[in-house]
Amino acid sequence: MTTELKIDIERIGTVSAILMEPANARACYVLAHGAGANMRHSFVEKAAAGLAARGIATLRYNFPYMEKKRGRPDTPAVAHAAVRAAVAEAARQCAGLKLIAGGKSFGGRMTSQAQAKAQLAGVKGLAFLGFPLHAADKPSIERADHLAEVGIPMLFIQGDRDKLADLDHLKPVIAGLAAKARLHVIAGGDHSFAVLRKSGRSNDEALTEVLDTLAAWIDKLA
């Protein structure tokens, strides 16, 4: 079942959201979009549909700047408030289901920052579909500083051609987070897990690996 919703963010405004909940749902993933595209982007829609087929509900939502069709992403404070409001709505809509949060690129990082500042109520783990560790082709680890303050399990799914997450920088970060963090690398994948034709597989096959990995990790969460 797919339901369109409105989420009220206190003192900020209202944003649109979509709840996709299969009849056999055993968990709900609060799925935030990336910086350059809203919750209806094809990648986000395919991810939600694929997770539904695997028994995972999703609540995807717009950040306020996307809702208002502004070009510049929200400040962290506004983005964090949106994450919290979306998580609270997912908890209401999917009461009794295991709750996970995260998302694509910018959305995943805003979710981890929010969790690092104050626990997201009821969330059992964070899953990142392409964590943006640094600006394109400018490897650094400053954007990862807050991850040490995230006290719940984390899954990083990254393409090995991702220009926003050099693996030589990301792997030590994840190793430093010890048992609470896991990295799964999509061979040949870029920041959106698109693969080259010469890889011998399709983008859909790469996405299948992404979603199978995410669903299996969710099932193992306490």
* pLDDT tens profile 26-49: 999 999 999 999 999 999 999 999
Task: Give residue 48's pLDDT.
Answer: 98
Task: Give residue 197's pLDDT.
Answer: 86
Give pLDDT < 70 ranges for the chain: none
CA 146 to chain centre: 16
Token pair, residue 50, equals 């694929």
Where in the chain are the domains? 2-220
Per-residue CA distances from 178 to 77, 101, 158, 191, 222 (Å): 28, 20, 18, 24, 17
CB atoms within 10 A of CB 26: 15
Pick among 3.20.20.10, 3.40.50.1820, 3.30.470.20, 2.160.10.10: CATH of 2-220: 3.40.50.1820
